[in-house]
Amino acid sequence: MTAETVVHLTVHGRVQGVGYRAFVEHEAKKRGLAGWVRNCVDGTVESVIAGDATVVEDMIAACRRGPLAARVDAIDRAQAPASALNDRRAGQAFSVLPTI
């Protein structure tokens, strides 16, 4: 059994206006992961993803691919505290949040 992990991702490229947040939400829910995703005013997409370490790694690989119309240039990754999940909407395992 692998450990639970929480990561913060910042995705760079053409990732806004192409369905990237919906893609991340769908892929996370499909994998049973917790967290959130949102657009940032600088054109990046920010996400916190939590779950089994192996599944999180698989999710990050999916984020590198993105939806068909997206172009992912880079992903900045950092470990995140469990408290980073507190930004989710109440009652949701994974949330799409407003732009910051």
- 86, part of any domain: no
Query: What is the CATH classification number for the domain harbouring 49?
Result: 3.30.70.100
pLDDT at 3 exceeding the cut of 70: no
- Give the residues across from 4 on adjacent strands: 52
Within-domain flag for 92: no
Q: Domain total for the chain?
A: 1
Whether 67 is covered by a domain: the verdict is: yes
Told to judge if 31 belongs to the known catalytic residues of this protein, a careful annotator would answer: no
Nearest to 22 by CA among 56, 57, 53, 68: 68
pLDDT for the residue 4: 87
| pLDDT score at 2 | 54
Mean pLDDT of 30-51: 97
The pLDDT tens digits for 23-35 are: 999 999 999 999 9
Range of the domain at 10: 4-80
Q: Which residue has the higher pLDDT, 4 or 64?
A: 64
Please report whether residue 19 resides in a domain: yes
- Identify whether 76 is part of a domain: yes
Provide the CA 74 distance to its chain's centre, in angstroms.
Answer: 14
98 domain residue, yes or no: no
Of 31, 39, 65, 89, which is the active-site residue? Answer: 39
Within a domain: residue 89?
A: no
Let me know if 39 is a catalytic residue: yes
Q: How much is the average pLDDT of 53-79?
A: 97
Look up the pTM and report it.
0.94
